[in-house]
Every structure is written in structure tokens, then in C-alpha cells.
Amino acid sequence: MASVQVVGNVSSLTTDSKEVITTTDLNGNRFEVPNYSMGDILSAIPKHCYDRNLLYSLHFVARDIAAMVALGYLAYNFIPMVPNYYARGVLWSLYSYATGLFSFGLWILAHECGHSAFSDYPVVNNFVGWVLHSYCGVPYFSWKYSHAKHHKATGHLTRDMVFVPYTAEEFKESKGISKWAEAVEDTPIYTMGMLLFQQIGGMQLYLSTNASGQPINLPWWKKSHFHPTSPIFEAKDYWYVILSDIGLLLVVAMAYWWYKTYGLFCMVTSYFIPYLYVNHWLVFITFLQHTDASMPHYTAEQWTFARGAAATIDRNFGFVGQHIFHDIAETHVLHHYVSRIPFYRAREATAAIQKVMGQHYRYEGENMWKSLWKCARTCQFVEDTPDNKGVLMFRNVNGVGVKPRD
């Protein structure tokens, strides 16, 4: 026997086994809360997908570094020979861009280290991760610990660590309004400005002030990833946070040595601009992994690990995504279910869990730049369901999709 109760735009279908909760996403489509278990997911993944090969992982590090060295060799030996000033400017810009792609590839390999997906050896994982993340301007252990908490509470409205959306009430308060009729639609220019700010400085703002994380009533520097007693961390993490900061100081010293030895132009084009690209790609991809019109957030009453991991989305970044960004965009749903599976086995594992997830698996194959614009315009805050079921979907005041309730 089964019975259906409809309240507002939310329905609960109760069967002899499980209650199926449904609501309406931003696009007006039916969203059904997942009811499968982690056991169902884990049993579907072939055992060999967990195998980690140190030498194979290291060869990707060597490959990415070799690519950056080769790009530098070609750039500094051939671009100065180009007679046209503007052509040289274009080529130097392309050099920095390409170097930034491979720099972000190194960041992803360090991210693998932080999840113990790089090898079976914790000391190797931490050393490689510390070196690579420090080079990319990210405090390795500090990121590792806060990122682990993000994985443990993905999609949880009050426990997730990053890209925590406004609730409808918080959004109204931020705009100084009491009713949606008072809200002013964002102009495209405003959205573009917000995106530029997010892409250029979003990562450092998050690391320095915990921006987009859970609200913490402390001065910004006391809740940063650089402060060893930040509430983000546990007491046992203290010296590892210090070690992360030392890694960054060493990289600052390296950049200064680079400037003094080879000149400002060389340091900026070969390191600083690629570093900005790393910041951009990290925010760009992680924002799109966790933000979409079809994606829910949950209160504590409805959240489970399996549901939270499904509140992510795989996207297609073409050749760059697969071969330079190590499939971080294409296999992110699987990564949230089992983060220690190495990226080179993630496509097979993704195909396996899709059989369990069914309609709950999310994939978007459209151009990611188009998705970035759409998400920035439409996913402004989340709104609770009328009967307080604790399943919150994105809404906006830009007149796109389902309107928020007054």
C-alpha cells in the first residue's frame, strides 16, 4: 500500500519501506530526495577502482611539471624573436594561460594527496601535497582539514564548509528588504562584476576570511585558514596549520628569488599570473560542482551522507577537463561518495554508481561558461519547503524560474 500527501508544492509518498519526499526545483521540475544508502553505492564500485599506484600518480606530477618547463623554454626562446609588439603580447598572454592550466593540474594532484587518493603511503601523500599546494598558494594541511569537513557535510545547510548559500531570510536581510516585492533585480553588469570579483579573488577571500563558509562571529583573521586556532580546525591540527603557513612563506621567498634572479617580467608571466589562473579555475570549477538550479540543500533533519554527496553535479570541460584537470569536473559526484578513489579510476567508478543513483545522478554537458552565467544569475538563495520538510531549493529575484514565496 502507498499513500500520497500533498502540501503546497511538496508531496510525501509513503510506502511499506521508505518515504519518498519530492519538491520542485528552480526550473519547475520534480525533485525526488534520494533514498538509497551508502552501502548500495559502495557495493556497486568494482574493488580495483580503489587501487592506488604511486609511480603512476607521480608520473602525472612529472608530466605537468615537464609541460610547464617546456612551455617556459619555448616562450623565452622564441617569443622575443617575434617582431610585432602586439603579437608578442598575445603570445606571452597565451603562455601564462597555458602555464596556469598545468599549474591547476598540479593543484588537483595535491588535492588527490589530501584525500589519500594519490598513493597508499600517507607520508608521501602529505609531502607531495604540501609541496604542490604550497607552490599553488594554498595552505596544504589547512585546506585538507577544512575540505575533509566539507566532504563530511556536503549539502548540509549548517555544517557544510564552503559555498553555503543564503537562506531566503538571510538574503532579505542582506538586501535590507522584508518582502520580495521590494527586491530589485540584479543587472547583467552587476552579475558580471560579481563574477569577476569571485573568479579573481574568491579563493584568497575564502582562505583569509572564510567567505562563503559557515558564519563565525570572530574578526576575519581569527577564522582564516592561516590562523592555527581558527574554529575551522581542531586543537590537534595546530602545528600542521603552522607547517602549511611555512610552506607558503617559502613560496613567497621563492617568488622573490625568482624576481631578483630573472626579473619581474619573468616571475609575473611564469608564476604570478598562472597563480591567479589557479585561483580562477579553483573557484570556477568548485562553484559549478556545488551550484545548479536542480540542486538541493538539506537541514539536519533530512540530510544524510548519501543525500549530501548526491547534491553535486558532474560537468564536461572537454579536453582540458579530462587531460589537464584530471577529470575533477567530470567525476565529482563519485569523488564525494568515495574520495580516496584515484582520478584515473574515477570514470569507471562513476559509471558503476550511476546504476544505483539513477535519476539522482546529475550531469550537465553544456558549455561551463554558459553554466557559470546561468548559476550566477539564478542560484541566489535557497528556500525551505512549505511544510518545513527541510529540502531547500535555489530561488532568485531575477525573475528566472519558480518565484520565491512571500
Q: What is the rounded distance in angstroms from the CA atom of residue 247 to the CA atom of residue 131?
A: 7
For residues 36 and 181, which has the higher predicted lDDT (pLDDT)?
36
The confidence score (pLDDT) of residue 28 equals: 94
Nearest-angstrom CA–CA distance, 69 and 88: 19
In this prediction, residue 132 carries a pLDDT of 98
Structure confidence at residue 261 (pLDDT): 98
Q: What is the pLDDT of residue 5?
A: 37
Report which residue type is found at 395.
R
In terms of DSSP H, where are the helices of 25-167?
38-44, 54-78, 85-114, 122-135, 140-152
User: Model-level pTM?
Assistant: 0.92
Q: How far apart are the first and last CA of the chain?
A: 36
Say whether pLDDT at 2 is over 50.
no
Q: How far apart are CA 26 and CA 335, in angstroms?
A: 25
Tell me how far the alpha carbon of residue 243 is from its chain's centroid: 24
* pLDDT tens readout for residues 305-321: 999 999 999 999 999 99
* pLDDT per residue as tens digits for the range 50-82: 999 999 999 999 999 999 999 999 999 999 999
DSSP 143-186: HHHHHHHHHHTTTBTTT--SSPPEEHHHHHHHHT-SSGGGPPPP
Is pLDDT larger for residue 183 or for residue 99?
99
Cell reading at 229: 586556532
Q: Which residue type, as a one-letter code, is found at position 19?
A: E
What average pLDDT does range 109-133 have in this prediction?
98
Residue 406 has a pLDDT of 77
* Mean model confidence pLDDT for the chain: 93
- As a whole number, mean pLDDT of residues 74-93 equals 97
In this predicted structure, the answer to whether residue 11 has a pLDDT above a threshold of 50 is no
With beta carbons less than 8 A apart as the criterion, state whether 107 and 138 touch: yes
66 to 94, 98, 113: CA distances (angstroms): 17, 13, 20
Between strands 166-167 and 381-383, the pairing is parallel
All cell numbers assigned to 386 = 512549505
With vertex at residue 400, the alpha carbon angle to CA 397 and CA 404, rounded to the nearest 5 degrees, is 50
Angle formed by the axes of helices 273-290 and 188-209, to 10°?
100
**The predicted structure's pLDDT at residue 251:** 98
The helix-helix angle for 238-262 and 122-135 (nearest 10°) equals 50
Mean pLDDT in residue range 30-56: 97
Residues 6+ apart with CB under 8 A from 96: 269, 270, 273, 274, 277
Residue count of the chain: 406
**Is the pLDDT assigned to residue 171 strictly greater than 50?**
yes
Amino acid 384: pLDDT: 86
Residue 9 reports pLDDT greater than 80: no
Left if phi > 0, otherwise alpha if psi is -120 to 50, otherwise beta: which for 374?
A: alpha
How far does CA 175 lie from the centroid of its chain? 26
Assess whether pLDDT exceeds 80 at residue 204.
yes
DSSP letter at 351 equals H
Cα–Cα dist 173/194, whole Å: 19
How high is the pLDDT of residue 388? 60
Return the percentage of the chain with pLDDT > 70, whole number: 95
- Residue of higher predicted confidence among 139 and 12: 139
Burial class of 346 by CB neighbour count within 10 A (0 to 12, 13 to 18, 19+) = buried
pLDDT band at 14 (very low <50, low <70, confident <90, very high): very low
